[in-house]
Amino acid sequence: MASDFISLVTVMSEMAAGHEVDSFLKQAGLGLDMAGLLMGMAVMSLLMGDGATYARLQASALRRQQYYRLRRGPAPPAMRLLALMGPGDLSDNTPLEFMLEGSDVELTLLYLAPDLPLPARLPEHDACMVAIAPAEGEQPLLVAAAGLLRGTDKPVFNRPERIALLLRDRVSDALQGIAGLAVPRVARVARALLDEIAAGRRGLADMLGAGDFPVIVRPLVSHTGQGLARIADRAELLDYLATRSEPDFFVAPFIDYAGADGQYRKYRIALIGGRPQLCHMAISSHWMVHYVNAGMADSAAKRAEEAAAMAGFDSDFAPRHAGVWRAMTARLGLDYAVMDCAELADGSLLLFELDNVCIVHAMDNPAVYPYKRPHMAGVFAAFRTMLAEPPIAAA
């Protein structure tokens, strides 16, 4: 039997609404068992920026219970969705809590981990979705998930063998040659080779096959731009390596995507059942664009441009790139994936990254972003519609 717990999105919603969180948590915690309380405490640690405590509390909860049910309203659910999860934080699993906020879906989370036993059978469910990230360390979990799913006759969204294709170098290989889509070739490179290149004893062709500086370098395990750098020459590569201890890296050519005004625009687009949904557009003077540091909250002009992009996405941007969406969906075979991309001067899309765990939410302050919540309601409705359709891999 699953343990109830207070989800991250529930707490964030209460905070965003200006409600007294302490009293809410006291009331919401009534009736929770020890595993559910530990998971709730882990959530609060994450919100306070204490990742180490979050991991410790989550591990303690998972030793007691592997099934968790997100609390919802008193009405019976219209659908019971089972999500297969891996241990970790928001960057390690599809953020289903955000996607199903306020929906009629009851979400049960089953956590898999190398040190946890696999259940003999799956609990009752109407559909299942694999939420595990395609990270290097998660590949054994995807194999375990595939084995478990052989015991269900219910629809399965995002089959684990398809998620395994989303490692940076694999997805780069899989999407080469699509008309209208620029995908820089990503190489997995050992530190020893980078050391040789920095010292001038080897050339870039030895890892990329061709090309020249600048290049993008990041460790194999890198979230939210951690360790990501644009390297202009051998000297910068030498300096970069002096700051990193990782044994392996991803390297790709850097493609300048600045607009005519010198600004960089990054689109986050969810492919939901093969159909594109714009989740945000960030505008920055820096090539490494993250919504949280792009200054969107401080610029009415940037927010107006994002609002216009959202309003016109279905009639302009999405149909202009219809061939790209079709080709990507056909090659990846995924029901849900999120891409960060830019539009180049020639009208093609430049892919930065694509996975199943990028954050998609409606938590921004509605007083600052009044256009966001109504738009994201449409994104979440598209996700709910997808759950009622046959999975792509089964079509």
Average confidence (pLDDT) over 325-336: 97
Proportion of the chain above pLDDT 70, given as a percent: 90
Pick the CATH number of 185-253 from 3.40.50.10110, 1.20.210.10, 3.40.50.300, 3.30.1490.20: 3.30.1490.20
Model confidence at 46, pLDDT cuts 50, 70, 90, reads confident
Position 224 scores a pLDDT of: 64
CB 272 within 8 A of CB 379: yes
Decide whether 185-253 matches 258-394 in CATH topology.
no
Q: DSSP of 34-80, one letter per residue?
A: HHHHHHHHHHHHHHTT-HHHHHHHHHHHHHH-SEEEE---SSPPSEE
Q: What is the pLDDT of residues 362-389, one digit of tens each?
A: 989 999 999 999 999 999 999 999 999 9
CATH of the structural domain 258-394, one choice from 3.30.470, 3.30.70, 3.40.50, 1.10.20: 3.30.470
Q: Are 69 and 39 in contact (CB under 8 A)?
A: no
Q: What are residue 267's DSSP bridge partners? A: 281, 341
pTM over 0.85: yes
DSSP string, 110-121: EE--TTSPPPSS
Instruction: Provide the pLDDT for residue 15.
Output: 57
Helix (H) or strand (E) holding 241: helix 234-242
Q: Which residues contact 242 (CB under 8 A, 6 or more apart)?
A: none
pLDDT of 35: 87
Query: Domain residue spans in the chain?
Result: 1-71, 185-253, 258-394
Cβ(268)–Cβ(277) below 8 Å: no
pLDDT tens string 183-225: 999 999 999 999 999 999 999 998 888 888 999 999 987 766 6
Q: What is the mean pLDDT of the chain?
A: 90
Neighbouring residues of 203: CB distance < 8 A, sequence distance ≥ 6: 197
Distance between CA 96 and CA 98 in Å, rounded? 5
Tell me which amino acid residue 52 is: A
Which of the four pLDDT bands, split at 50, 70 and 90, describes residue 395?
A: very low
Rounded to the nearest 10°, the torsion over CA 201, 205, 211, 214 is -40
